[in-house]
Amino acid sequence: MKILPPVSIEARRLLPSRWDLLAAVLVLGFIIAFADASRFLVRPLSSITGHALFLNVWDLPGYALRTGLRMLIAMGVSLAFTFSYATWAAKNPRAGSLLVPLLDILQSVPILGFLSVTVVWFLSLSPGRVLGAELACVFTIFTGQAWNMAFSFYQSLRTVPPELEEAGRMFGLSAWARFWRIEAPFATPPLIWNMMMSMSGGWFFVTVSEAISVGNTDIALPGIGSWIAVAIAQKNLPAIFEAILAMLVVILIYDQLLFRPLVAWADRFRIDNEQSEDQPESWALNVYRRSRLLDLMTKPFEQMMRWSYHWQPPSFGLRAATREVDSRVADILWYVLLGLLSLYAAFRIYGFAHDNLAWSDLGTAVGLGFLTLLRVMVLIAIASLIWTPVGVYVGLRPRLTQIVQPVAQFLAAFPNNLLFPLVVSLIVLWDLNPDIWLSPLIVLGTQWYILFNVIAGASTMPKELRDAAENFGVHGWLWWRKVALPAVFPYYVTGAITASGGAWNASVLAEVASWGKTTLHAHGLGAYISDATATGDFRRVVLGIAVMSFFVVVVNRILWRPLYWYAERKYRLT
């Protein structure tokens, strides 16, 4: 299966289109409107905080359960978002031209930095305060999970084989039936792969979003994330290990009960008719299949779906005639609406910048952005140097692959604050420079994407190619240069894109690290946002987020996207 990076790589062009700019303006305007609305809501918050969390081991399973549930709910919301947003973008060219760039900008927004704003906003929404905090937490996880799922689904919908689509039309299936019987099944295998990635990424977000302080307000939802936060504050090393253990258990449960069955089940939707070499298996799926209770429970739902396929929209047969006129009017309405929206957004942005920011603020943020950029690039480069050879070595050995692949996936789920104790202690002990030695935290979680993409690439290398290289005595550096590295290059690029995107997000959490009373700062945009959050300075939070999003988008455009297309064109094995 081809793995696509979680950013828009559809167009090969470098320069932003009008739609990109429009999307950027809309997102920025939205963020500002959001922040403005939340600014005045901070004060009443102080009354609901201060739930002390005690590190009692017997509470841990309960916490793990709550954290796991939050992830599951967020996954459900992400799925709903994927099915609606991506479908809309793929089916309606008019909407798609805006929705895709919008998604691209959205996935570049370092949502961890925006946490304070969302928390405050959601708290103000709900009269029961805990519910508000829960919503904010789920929302944060959702923003960590949804984008790449939507991208994957959108890309699949755009590549449904035309003959399948035509067959559906010939049999008179309605658009609704076609979606569920043809398009959704076709898009399922890559979607599930992306769900698994999202779930790994979600851990990072859940641990951060459960325990958050805005200004001098602390909120701690019962869960593994809060547990870790408290353990860090109290310098409680055993508690950190207990948290790691709890996470491991939850990840294992999800893997065995949810993802493995899904992967095994989705194997039937692969479009290539050849039997896969080793069919994925899952004991849980076998249990589900044989269970009568489950059968009984799903039957009404299945029945309902079946009936729904027979509905024909009332306009069936008439639509083709009216479409022509319809679309012209709709076009005008649509553009007018967009124009107004963007005008309003631009107005808000201008107002916000004019009232709150000086040019020097922007200068500071951009300067710090370059520092973080340097950090991200250097560390991605180092991680690539280490993990590419390791990935090739592992990928060429099927047995080793089976062991390493799940371990890497598990490590990718690890939020970097779990390493704070180690890193902070070492830096303090040896009196190191935090600007340099906090940096590794940036790629701690995301470097694994490079590893497992390279493994995937190496393991799909045809045996005959390897034989040919060996037969012609190609060894050593020549082998790496002409055989191994080119073969994994497209996979590496996909991994590096994912890793780099994640690294930016992680910088918010990596450039400021604390252990007990010790807090270390590195200079960078991540620390800038993090500090602004801690002091409740929304103006700098918004500025920092805007600048970081800008950096991410630009790096994607001028580095990763061209590299991706170069790799696709030249190195893809067909």
Partner 1 sequence: MAELLNVEHVRRTFPRGGGEELLVLDDVNLTLREGEVVGLLGRSGSGKSTLLRLIAGLSQPQGGNLSYMGTPIQGPVQGVAMVFQSFALFPWLTVLENVQLGLEALNLPPREMRERALAAIDLIGLDGYESAYPRELSGGMRQRVGFARAVVVHPNILLMDEPFSALDVLTAENLRTDLVELWGNGKLPIKGIILVTHNIEEAVLMCDRVLLFSSNPGRVASEIRIDLPQPRDRTSPAFEDYVDRIYVEMTARRVERMRQIQTQGTTSIAMPLVHVSPNQISGLVEALAAPPYNGKADLPDIAYEQELEVDELFPVAEAMQLLRLADVEGGDIKLTHMGKRFADGELNERKEIFSRSLMSNVPLAAHIRKVLDERASHNAPKTRFLDELEDHMAEDAAEEALKTVVSWARFAELFSYDDDAALFSLENPT
What is the contact surface with partner 1 in residues (CB under 8 A)?
289-290, 462, 464-465, 467-475, 478, 482-483, 486, 489, 570-574
CB of 485 to partner 1, least distance (A): 10
Among 460, 476, 470, which residue's Cα sits nearest to residue 389? 476
Minimum CB distance to partner 1, residue 471 (Å): 5
Kindly tell me which of 169 and 482 has the beta carbon lying closer to partner 1: 482
The single-letter code of the amino acid at 204 is: F
Nearest to 140 by CA among 210, 196, 191: 210
Task: Write out the DSSP string of 122-157.
Answer: HHHH-SSHHHHHHHHHHHHHHHHHHHHHHHHHHHHH
User: 485 in helix, strand or coil?
Assistant: helix
Least CB distance from residue 469 to partner 1, whole Å? Answer: 8
CB of 479 to partner 1, least distance (A): 9
Helix ranges (DSSP H) in 234-358: 237-254, 260-266, 283-290, 292-310, 319-356
Q: Are 104 and 6 in contact (CB under 8 A)?
A: no
CB of 574 to partner 1, least distance (A): 7
Nearer to partner 1, 286 or 519 (CB): 286
Which H/E stretch holds residue 508? helix 485-510
Q: How far is the CB of 484 from partner 1 (least distance, A)?
A: 11
Cβ atoms 292, 270 nearer than 8 A: no
CA 350 – CA 344 distance, rounded (Å):
10
Nearer to partner 1, 234 or 286 (CB): 286
Closest CA to 522 of 440, 446, 417: 440
State both tokens at 533: 């959050």
Distance of CA 216 to the CA centre of its chain: 29
Nearest distance from C-beta of residue 318 to partner 1, angstroms: 38
Nearer to partner 1, 291 or 315 (CB): 291
Question: Which token pair is 283?
Answer: 């004991």
Q: How far is the CB of 566 from partner 1 (least distance, A)?
A: 11
Nearer CB in complex with partner 1: 180/265? 265
* DSSP code for 255: I
CA gap 107, 548 in Å, rounded:
12
Please identify, using beta-carbon distances, which residue of 102 and 493 lies nearer to partner 1. Answer: 493
Q: How far is Cα 113 from Cα 115, in angstroms, rounded to an integer?
A: 5
Q: Which is nearer to partner 1, 328 or 569 (CB)?
A: 569
User: What is the rounded distance in angstroms from the CA atom of residue 444 to the CA atom of residue 383?
Assistant: 9
Tokens 């959702």 locate to 142
Rounded Cα distance, 115 and 505, in Å: 12
Closer of 18 and 289 to partner 1 (Cβ) = 289
CB of 209 to partner 1, least distance (A): 40
Q: For 484, which DSSP code?
A: I
Sign of CA dihedral 182, 186, 191, 192: positive
Nearer to partner 1, 360 or 471 (CB): 471
**CB closer to partner 1, 516 vs 562:** 562
Q: What is the dihedral of CA 408, 410, 413, 414, to 10 degrees?
A: -90
Least separation in angstroms between residue 394's CB and partner 1 is: 21
Question: Distance (Å, rounded) from C-alpha 491 to C-alpha 568?
Answer: 10
CB of 253 to partner 1, least distance (A): 25
Query: Which residue's CB is nearer to partner 1, number 111 or number 454?
Result: 454
Is residue 506 a contact partner of residue 445, using CB atoms and an 8 Å limit? yes
